[in-house]
A and B are shown apart, each in its own frame.
Chain A
Amino acid sequence: MTSFRPIADVAGAGSGGEFDPRVATRRRRVATAIVIAALVVLAGIGGAFTPTFLTFDNLLVVIRQASITGVIALGMSYVTISGNLFALSAEELAILTACIFGWLMRAKFGLALSLIATLLFAGLGGAVQGGIIALGADPIITTLAFGGFFRGLASVVSQNQNILLGTDAAQWLGTGRPLGVPTQSWAFLILTPLAWIVLQKTRIGRVLVLAGANRAAARSAGLRVGQAALLGLTLLGLCCGLAGISAAAQFGQAVANLFQGLNFDVVAAVLVGGIALRGGQGSPIQAALGAAFIALLQNFMLLNDFSSGWRMTVVGSLVALATCLFHILQRRRE
């Protein structure tokens, strides 16, 4: 059994001064401040040009739009921070879990059992990928391959047909509005601080950060670096499971064609949030802010009748710009 030392001791010991937690914290705060400032500026511009933009109703819609991407981006932030880049199977795992949940509900397994089984499967789907990555496989190739596997399996489970749940038992999960706020938004708003607490205040979080910041230092401190990939991917899997359940519950049906473009949206949220691609720096709050920023921008463009071509161009440019900006900022500080 390995003992666990404070993050500063471990980083200093192993990295030869390469990783300073205080610097990392400062960088995280700067990145967060930049995204918040960008959100405020965008909201101001949007409000000035579009009368309905800064209404309560519209902001609720924006949060709702950010929610599914945001929940998965929270999980993805763990993967990126742990130094494993991205999981390119998030969209497909969400599709598969939607189909599995739909299938279980239709087969009358009941809501509770269907929920538990789907989430277990989602976690397992993430854990298997994480386990393989922990053994040394490339995270991009591994998750790309599993993406194909999950999509294919979703196609098999659904037989390329709509799986109708055949019951309204799950409807509230997809369409409920406690206190006027959609359930998906509640999940996003609750999970964001929770994800931050896990990363900042728990041993699991510290393993993730250290593995991403400096693998050699983490190893010399007695941490199992491979554990980080396993943990990150498992948590991401659970987030995908929540998204899948929510989608299936919302329309009472699931099909193997859901979540088009979700992988890009999630990666974009992580990058726009300013989480370091090389790992070790960032927080789930940044990913959540990234998702909110993209949703706000998309909403502004939609209300102003931008064509879909322009919308894609703007978001793509934004991701490229954010990646360059944060990369330059990091290099300057080094």
Chain B
Amino acid sequence: MLRTSIRSFGLPLRGLAMAAALLSPLMFGHSAARAESKGLLVVFMPPGTDNYLAQWQKGARAKAKDLGYDIKIIESSRDQAEQDSQVQQEIASGEKVSGYIWWPYVNAAGTGSLRALSKTGVPVVFTNQYPIPGTEKFWTAYAGVNDFLNAETAAKALVKACAESKTVKCNKGLIITFPAGYSAGSDREKAFRKAAPNLTVIQSQPSGFMAQEGYKTASQIIPAHKSEITWVYTENDSLADGVIQALKENGLQPGKDVLVVGGVCHGDTTNLLNGSLIGTGVQAAFLEGWSSVQSTYKYLNTKKVLDGAVYLPDDPNKPPSDDGAPHRYNFIPNPWVTNAKADVDSFKLWGYPFKELCNY
């Protein structure tokens, strides 16, 4: 009965909902509004119920509006098959699109959809997930975070904090990563291990993105290793929040007995300001969305892509210019901020203060 119900109703319902979502702009006169705009950008990405992704969307929408483009964001659940289906439906709709922005949920599994998008002849800007080698001909430019740099920055900060610590001698530790299959997670782990070769990893476990998931994983591993853990690397600060709670429950004091580094400010800054985290990297979701749209615009404006990679300047007050062509890789800056309140309060990037970029 269960199987019959889902087959008979669930999938068609989901399909109808998806089709309705894709058709709705046409049905409600979106096309007319678009006639006044410079074109339509279509974004494929995982769901905005994740607060990082919601911030990304805000940045993308703000920049698209600023540049005079319409933007349509097609969210999938955490399901590559669903995202693949959305790509097929969008292409089949025949909608006139100026540029695609592609954020796959499972990078490798999404290659077929990436290829399909590239075959339309419309430029495809890859974002957030570092493109897989071998897919270069399917995308125009990459714009977003550099996961390798992000982890490297966190690793260096941890090594430095270890050297300066008077209470802990760093040796063995844990790595808590994003979910399995999410390529940004494995990229960061590789880069972290490479940048901190003298730190011994007791265990590395995929977990999730949220504090609750970090807690669930860490609370099970820590009791077995609590006498030997001296550091923990998590791939964002939300996961770190969960780890910090698990450490405290096991009688370990973060910042004193164990050094914890998240590397991406994400969510709440309480544990940063109370010293439980050694610091954080400002990988701003808002600016990543903003920059993805800007790179798409720069290509559409110039029809050129410059070779190599560029790190967008980390100017405190001024965002990067819209002029010129994008590079093949356009990385947003990832400046490090210590856990000192004065540093947090005085921090600014592209005119946005720390709280605006990190507390969401």
Q: Which of A57, A140, A303 is the most central at the interface, judged by chain B CB atoms within 10 Å of its CB?
A: A140
A164-B180 contact in complex given A64-B219, A260-B213, C-beta closer than 8 Å: no
CB distance from A176 to the nearest CB of B (A): 11
Question: Which residues B68-109 have CB closer than 8 A to chain A?
Answer: 78
- The answer to the question of B50 belonging to the interface, with a C-beta cut-off of 8 Å to chain A, is yes
- Chain A 241-257 per-residue mask, 1 if CB under 8 angstroms from chain B, else 0: 00000010011110111
Question: Which residues B50-66 have CB closer than 8 A to chain A?
Answer: 50-51, 53-54
- The answer to the question of A38 belonging to the interface, with a C-beta cut-off of 8 Å to chain B, is no
- Chain A 120-160 per-residue mask, 1 if CB under 8 angstroms from chain B, else 0: 00000000000000000010110011000001001100011
CA distance A144 to B359 in the complex (A): 32
For the complex, would chain B's binding face be called helix, strand, loop or mixed by DSSP majority?
helix
A85-B1 contact in complex given A257-B49, A257-B50, C-beta closer than 8 Å: yes
- The answer to the question of B360 belonging to the interface, with a C-beta cut-off of 8 Å to chain A, is yes
- The answer to the question of A200 belonging to the interface, with a C-beta cut-off of 8 Å to chain B, is no
CB distance from B359 to the nearest CB of A (A): 8
Complex contacts, A43 vs chain B, CB 8 Å: none
A141-B208 contact in complex given A155-B49, A255-B51, A257-B50, C-beta closer than 8 Å: no
Complex contacts, A302 vs chain B, CB 8 Å: 205, 217, 220-221
Complex contacts, B289 vs chain A, CB 8 Å: none
- The answer to the question of A317 belonging to the interface, with a C-beta cut-off of 8 Å to chain B, is no
CA distance A55 to B220 in the complex (A): 12
CA distance A64 to B215 in the complex (A): 11
CA distance A215 to B355 in the complex (A): 58
Question: Which residues A205-224 have CB closer than 8 A to chain B?
Answer: none
A251-B242 contact in complex given A141-B10, A161-B51, A162-B51, C-beta closer than 8 Å: yes
- Chain A 156-185 per-residue mask, 1 if CB under 8 angstroms from chain B, else 0: 000111101000000000010100000000
CA distance A308 to B223 in the complex (A): 20
- The answer to the question of B179 belonging to the interface, with a C-beta cut-off of 8 Å to chain A, is yes
Question: Which residues B203-228 have CB closer than 8 A to chain A?
Answer: 203, 205-206, 208-213, 215-217, 219-221, 223-224
CA distance A154 to B47 in the complex (A): 13
- Chain A interface residue count: which class? 35 or more
B interface size (C-beta, 8 A): 44
Complex contacts, B268 vs chain A, CB 8 Å: 162, 164, 251-253
Complex contacts, B9 vs chain A, CB 8 Å: 138, 141
- The answer to the question of B2 belonging to the interface, with a C-beta cut-off of 8 Å to chain A, is yes
Question: Which residues A58-110 have CB closer than 8 A to chain B?
Answer: 58, 61-62, 64-65, 85-86
Question: Which residues A255-304 have CB closer than 8 A to chain B?
Answer: 255-260, 277, 298-299, 302-303
Asked if B208 and A85 make an inter-chain contact with CB atoms under 8 angstroms apart, the answer reads no
- The answer to the question of B147 belonging to the interface, with a C-beta cut-off of 8 Å to chain A, is no
CA distance A98 to B57 in the complex (A): 24
Asked if A160 and B219 make an inter-chain contact with CB atoms under 8 angstroms apart, the answer reads no
Complex contacts, A334 vs chain B, CB 8 Å: none
CB distance from A211 to the nearest CB of B (A): 16
- The answer to the question of B48 belonging to the interface, with a C-beta cut-off of 8 Å to chain A, is yes
A57-B223 contact in complex given A140-B2, A155-B48, A253-B211, C-beta closer than 8 Å: yes
A52-B49 contact in complex given A140-B2, A251-B211, A258-B212, C-beta closer than 8 Å: no
Asked if A65 and B51 make an inter-chain contact with CB atoms under 8 angstroms apart, the answer reads no
A256-B49 contact in complex given A162-B268, A164-B268, C-beta closer than 8 Å: yes
Complex contacts, B359 vs chain A, CB 8 Å: 162
CA distance A256 to B267 in the complex (A): 13
Asked if B360 and A162 make an inter-chain contact with CB atoms under 8 angstroms apart, the answer reads yes
- The answer to the question of A307 belonging to the interface, with a C-beta cut-off of 8 Å to chain B, is yes
CB distance from A160 to the nearest CB of B (A): 3
CB distance from A280 to the nearest CB of B (A): 15
- The answer to the question of A309 belonging to the interface, with a C-beta cut-off of 8 Å to chain B, is yes
Complex contacts, B334 vs chain A, CB 8 Å: none
Complex contacts, A255 vs chain B, CB 8 Å: 49-51, 210, 267
A160-B54 contact in complex given A65-B219, A85-B1, A255-B210, C-beta closer than 8 Å: yes
- The answer to the question of B129 belonging to the interface, with a C-beta cut-off of 8 Å to chain A, is no
Asked if B212 and A247 make an inter-chain contact with CB atoms under 8 angstroms apart, the answer reads yes
- Chain A 33-67 per-residue mask, 1 if CB under 8 angstroms from chain B, else 0: 00000000000000000101001011001101100
Complex contacts, B206 vs chain A, CB 8 Å: 307-308
CA distance A255 to B13 in the complex (A): 26
Cross-interface CB contact of A250 among B208, B223, B245, B250, cutoff 8 Å: B245
Asked if B220 and A250 make an inter-chain contact with CB atoms under 8 angstroms apart, the answer reads no
CA distance A160 to B46 in the complex (A): 13
Complex contacts, A65 vs chain B, CB 8 Å: 216, 219-220
Nearest chain A residue, comparing its CB with the CB of B78: A260
Nearest chain A residue, comparing its CB with the CB of B223: A57
Name B residues whose Cβ lies closer than 8 Å to a Cβ of A: 1-2, 5-6, 9-10, 13, 47-51, 53-54, 78, 179-180, 203, 205-206, 208-213, 215-217, 219-221, 223-224, 241-242, 245, 249-250, 267-268, 270, 359-360
Q: Which 8 A-B pairs have the closest CB atoms?
A: A160-B54, A52-B224, A308-B180, A140-B5, A256-B49, A308-B206, A57-B223, A251-B211
Taking A145-B13, A256-B49 as given, write out 6 further A-B residue pairs in contact, using a Cβ cutoff of 8 Å, ordered by the A residue number. Answer: A57-B250, A61-B223, A159-B54, A160-B48, A258-B210, A260-B210
14 contacts between A and B (CB under 8 A): A52-B224, A58-B223, A61-B219, A141-B5, A154-B49, A160-B48, A160-B50, A162-B360, A164-B268, A253-B211, A258-B210, A258-B212, A302-B205, A305-B205
